Every structure is written in C-alpha cells, then in structure tokens.
C-alpha cells in the first residue's frame, strides 16, 4: 500500500467528523447500476430484441459504469486506504477490501467486451450469456463488498480521519475523474437515491454537484430510457 502524498493529521476526539454523503451516494449508484444491468442482461440472454441504437447505448453505459467502479476502487486503494492506514494504524485491516477490488477488474473487462461485441453482433448468444453471467457476479460481489465497507470502514473514517484529509481524498478522486464523463456520473449517481431522499441528499452536496445534476439530468434520462425503457 502506498503512502499518502501529503502528511496526514488524524482526527482528534471532539473534532468534526467527515461528511460521507457523496461517498454513500457513489455506493448506491454502483449497486443500483449493477442491479439494473443484471436485470436487463437476463432479458437479453432470454432473447429480448436489441436494436442497433440500443446496443450502442448499452455498450456506452457499461463502459461508463465499469470505468466509474474501477476509478472508485482504484482511488480507494491509492488515495483513501493510505490515508485511513496513516490515520487509524492497526485499528483497521484493509487487505480483504483490496482483494475484492482485484477480483472485480476482470469481471469489468468481460462486461465491457461482451457489450461492445453486441454493437456489431447484437444476437450473439455467447456475448449475451457473458453479459448475463458476469452482471450477476458483479451485482452480488458489489453488494457484499459495499455492505462490508460501510459496516467496517465508514466508522473508522468517522473516528480517525480528519475532515481536511477526507476532503483532500475526495478532491483527488474528482481530479482524476474524466471531466467528459461527468454528464453521466452525477445524474447516474443521483438517480440511485430513493426519490423521497433526493432533496435532503442534494442539500448536503456541493453547489457544483447540484448544478451539474440539473444541467445533465435531461441528457442522462434520455440515455437511460433508450437502454432500459
């Protein structure tokens, strides 16, 4: 595990706790996206029609979603986990979560490959089967991984990581995220929040996040409708 790029100042008792709102929304989005994809992939495996436009949009959705999952976990491994380790020391064991991340990457690669093949060969049975099988594996692994992370790691972050260090973690993650994909990332994330909870959740996010969601929500809604109906 690498060291933080800047010195870490662990949270002291009585200091404010980091706000994990956006972190939690990212988790909701990954789980919701994986569940949606698994449900759709089962219908495709069973013979549902796939028009050229829908196949192209599906491949783009899978690319964007799997890229977000990879970047999220890579950011944890290279930015977040070193901060937690430096702040909490022996109070936490991050190796099982890192192992999960390593297990995810080949699944993401296969999903991208299968969905890309369906653009040129929309009726290919092997590609449809791969998409169905691996989307279920992804769904189940993410559910288990994220539940474990929120149960075991979120309390560690709140207890040991300072607000400043956590903010730096979030800023580094966003700095590394491709800006051309923000039209997808932000409304995709918000769409996973239960509708009744959206106003309260958005109120806890930065103004730039709320403005981007408003700006891109229409484009994302049309994109999503083409794929999932």
Residue 68 and residue 26: Cα distance in Å, rounded? 9
3-state secondary structure at position 15? coil
Q: How would you write the pLDDT of the chain (229 residues) with one tens digit per residue?
A: 556 666 899 999 999 999 999 999 999 999 999 999 999 999 999 999 999 999 999 999 999 999 999 999 999 999 999 999 999 987 888 888 888 888 999 999 999 999 999 999 999 999 999 999 999 999 999 999 999 999 999 999 999 999 999 999 999 988 888 899 999 999 999 999 999 999 999 998 889 999 999 999 999 999 999 999 9
Q: Name which of 117, 116, 110 is nearest 135 in CA terms.
A: 110
Tell me how long the chain is: 229
CATH annotation of 21-182: 1.20.120.520
- Model-level pTM? 0.93
- Residue extents of the structural domains in the chain: 21-182
């Amino acid at each position: 595990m690498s060291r933080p790029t800047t010195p870490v100042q662990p949270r002291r008792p009585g200091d404010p706790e980091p706000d994990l709102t956006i972190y939690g929304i990212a988790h909701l989005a990954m789980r919701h996206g994986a569940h949606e994809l698994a449900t759709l992939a089962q219908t495709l495996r069973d013979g549902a029609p796939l028009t050229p436009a829908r196949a192209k949009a599906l491949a783009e959705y899978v690319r964007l979603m799997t890229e977000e999952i990879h970047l999220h976990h890579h950011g944890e491994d290279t930015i977040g986990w070193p901060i937690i380790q430096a702040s909490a020391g022996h109070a936490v064991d991050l190796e099982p979560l890192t192992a999960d991340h390593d297990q995810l990457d080949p699944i993401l690669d296969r999903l991208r490959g299968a969905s890309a093949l369906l653009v040129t060969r929309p009726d290919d049975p092997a590609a449809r089967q791969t998409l169905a099988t691996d989307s279920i594996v992804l769904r189940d692994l993410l559910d288990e991984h994220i539940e474990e992370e929120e149960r075991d790691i979120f309390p560690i972050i709140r207890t040991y990581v300072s607000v400043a260090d956590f903010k730096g973690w979030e800023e580094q993650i966003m700095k590394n995220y491709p800006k051309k994909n923000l039209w997808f990332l932000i409304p995709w994330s918000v769409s996973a929040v239960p509708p009744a909870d959206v106003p309260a959740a958005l109120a806890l996010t930065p103004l730039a996040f709320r403005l981007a969601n408003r700006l891109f929500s229409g484009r994302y809604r049309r994109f999503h409708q083409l794929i999932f109906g």
